[in-house]
Amino acid sequence: MLLEALRLKDFRNLRDVELSPHQRFNLFTGQNGQGKTNLLEAIYLLSAVKSFRSQATNRNLIGHGRDQAELFARVDRGGHVRDVGIEIGERGKRITLNGQTVRNVADFFGTLNVVIFGPDDIGVLKGSPSERRRFIDRAIFNARPAYGTEATHFEEVLKNRNALLKEERVDGGLLSIYDDQLVEWGAQILRRRLDFIDHFRPVLKRTFRSIFGDGFEAEIGYQAEWADQDLSTENVEEALRDALSRTRQEERHRGYTLVGPHRDDLRTELDGHDLRAFGSQGQTRAFILAMKIAEITYLEERYRFAPILLLDDVSSELDRERNRQLFAFLRDRAIGQVFITTTHRDHILLEEDLRHYQVVDGEVRDG
């Protein structure tokens, strides 16, 4: 997968950017607040439509004093070239593929696949469960765009069901309809996640060992506190039904849904110890680095495509040895386009197959 051309207009502080990226490494150097992360955010949007930043309303994405932002990319996927466009107005986004408006975003997903690794990811393992759910959901979505629609169905059911549970008199008939929908879509999400963990787990263990030697054993697992049995792709529906009937009273009392994939977490362990509770800073960073590398390797091995990798200023968050491992991995992986931002050129251990840009006050120049 290759980003052959990128054009941006009035996207945040990037007023007018036009690039023909290198097919391997693209390095963006600049001081703080110049527009480096904004550039990666634009590429990410061209893949996922939504931003990775939490405060990214349409208004915030549009350059100050402008009324529209325009993003454009030419993407080559195994010789198949497509033009991707997003126009962002305050009222919404318009997506185009080869100049034609896309009515259903589901048709658009999968055109461009990116994996991003940035300073926020370093906190994923110590942060709230929702951040770890986001990691796993994003990884599945990258491999199977239809997962996005499934997740939307589930969120819709959850919203309706929660609203009903908050009502003074809960309509039993309606609740049982929502229960069925919750089981149907919840089970689908759970099957996808369990299947992902099944395939991802050995890749992660192998990656961790190859980077950090045989000394440490990494482990990852899916955690669903509401289930009173070990979940498998075969028993998720039954487990959801059981849990729903067990928590009926409490759900009415609390007024929201206590059972389902929206409550779940990832358990990560190093040498048998829970990383969330016992991991040092360095161990946590090493683990998340291995998770990111495993995510890419998983996509390459299982789905046979190399996603575009966006590395936002990660070198400053990794110690010297971890940083060396990261670049060794990137160089050894003979294929794959990478966009890297940094404030310090000397953090970036790459000399070949490289195009270098400077980012200064929203302008991107060859450097």
Ligand X SMILES: Nc1ncnc2c1ncn2[C@@H]1O[C@H](COP(=O)(O)OP(=O)(O)OP(=O)(O)O)[C@@H](O)[C@H]1O
**Residues binding Mg ion (CB under 5 A):** 36-37
Nearest-CA neighbor of 255 among 157, 159, 158, 165?
A: 165
* Residue 63 DSSP label: P
Residue 343: name its binding partner from Mg ion, ligand X, none (Cβ under 5 to 8 Å by kind).
Answer: ligand X
Nearest-CA neighbor of 220 among 206, 236, 232?
A: 206
Strand partners, 81: 76
Determine if 54 is a binding residue for ligand X (CB under 6 A).
no
We find the least distance from the C-beta atom of residue 108 to Mg ion, in angstroms, to be 26
- Which of these segments, 59-67, 164-172, 177-185, 344-352, binds ligand X (CB under 6 A)? 59-67
- Which of these segments, 58-66, 99-107, 131-139, 149-157, binds ligand X (CB under 6 A)? 58-66
By CB under 6 A, the residues from 62 to 81 that bind ligand X are 62-64
We find the least distance from the C-beta atom of residue 93 to ligand X, in angstroms, to be 15
* Residue 102 DSSP label: P
Which CB, 12 or 161, lies closer to ligand X?
A: 12
Task: Determine which residue in the list 8, 17, 27, 36 makes contact with ligand X, applying CB under 6 A.
Answer: 36
Residue 13: name its binding partner from Mg ion, ligand X, none (Cβ under 5 to 8 Å by kind).
Answer: ligand X
Which CB, 276 or 347, lies closer to ligand X?
A: 347
Element (H, E) at 277: helix 275-278
Spatial contact of 1 and 309, defined as CB atoms under 8 Å apart: no
Residue 116: name its binding partner from ligand X, Mg ion, none (Cβ under 5 to 8 Å by kind).
Answer: none
Which CB, 51 or 149, lies closer to ligand X?
A: 51
We find the least distance from the C-beta atom of residue 144 to Mg ion, in angstroms, to be 30
Q: Which two tokens stand for residue 132?
A: 């770890």
Which residues lie closer than 8 Å to 8 by C-beta, 6 or more apart?
14, 16, 17, 18, 39, 42, 69, 70, 71, 72
Task: Determine which residue in the list 26, 29, 34, 207 makes contact with ligand X, applying CB under 6 A.
Answer: 34
Residue 32: name its binding partner from Mg ion, ligand X, none (Cβ under 5 to 8 Å by kind).
Answer: ligand X
Spatial contact of 299 and 305, defined as CB atoms under 8 Å apart: yes
Element (H, E) at 10: strand 2-11
Determine if 37 is a binding residue for ligand X (CB under 6 A).
yes
Determine if 38 is a binding residue for ligand X (CB under 6 A).
yes
Task: Determine which residue in the list 30, 148, 186, 279 makes contact with ligand X, applying CB under 6 A.
Answer: 30
Which CB, 36 or 133, lies closer to ligand X?
A: 36
What is the length of the chain?
Answer: 367
By CB under 6 A, the residues from 299 to 338 that bind ligand X are 313
Determine if 55 is a binding residue for ligand X (CB under 6 A).
no
Q: How far apart are CA 72 and CA 318, in angstroms?
A: 32
We find the least distance from the C-beta atom of residue 172 to Mg ion, in angstroms, to be 52
Determine if 60 is a binding residue for ligand X (CB under 6 A).
yes
Q: Where are the alpha helices (H) located in 166-280, listed in sequence order?
A: 172-212, 236-254, 275-278
By CB under 6 A, the residues from 348 to 367 that bind ligand X are 359
Task: Determine which residue in the list 1, 2, 3, 12 makes contact with ligand X, applying CB under 6 A.
Answer: 12
Residue 63: name its binding partner from Mg ion, ligand X, none (Cβ under 5 to 8 Å by kind).
Answer: ligand X
* Residue 52 DSSP label: S
End-to-end C-alpha distance for the chain, whole angstroms? 25
Q: Which two tokens stand for residue 312?
A: 């936002």
Spatial contact of 194 and 232, defined as CB atoms under 8 Å apart: yes
Which CB, 268 or 341, lies closer to Mg ion?
A: 341
Strands 218-223, 354-360: pairing kind:
unpaired
Determine if 193 is a binding residue for ligand X (CB under 6 A).
no
CA distances from 308 to 4, 14, 153, 185 (A): 12, 21, 28, 30
Which CB, 43 or 158, lies closer to ligand X?
A: 43
Q: Which two tokens stand for residue 184?
A: 């149907």
Spatial contact of 284 and 275, defined as CB atoms under 8 Å apart: yes
We find the least distance from the C-beta atom of residue 53 to ligand X, in angstroms, to be 9
Residues in touch with ligand X (CB under 6 A): 12-13, 30, 32-38, 60, 62-64, 313, 343, 359
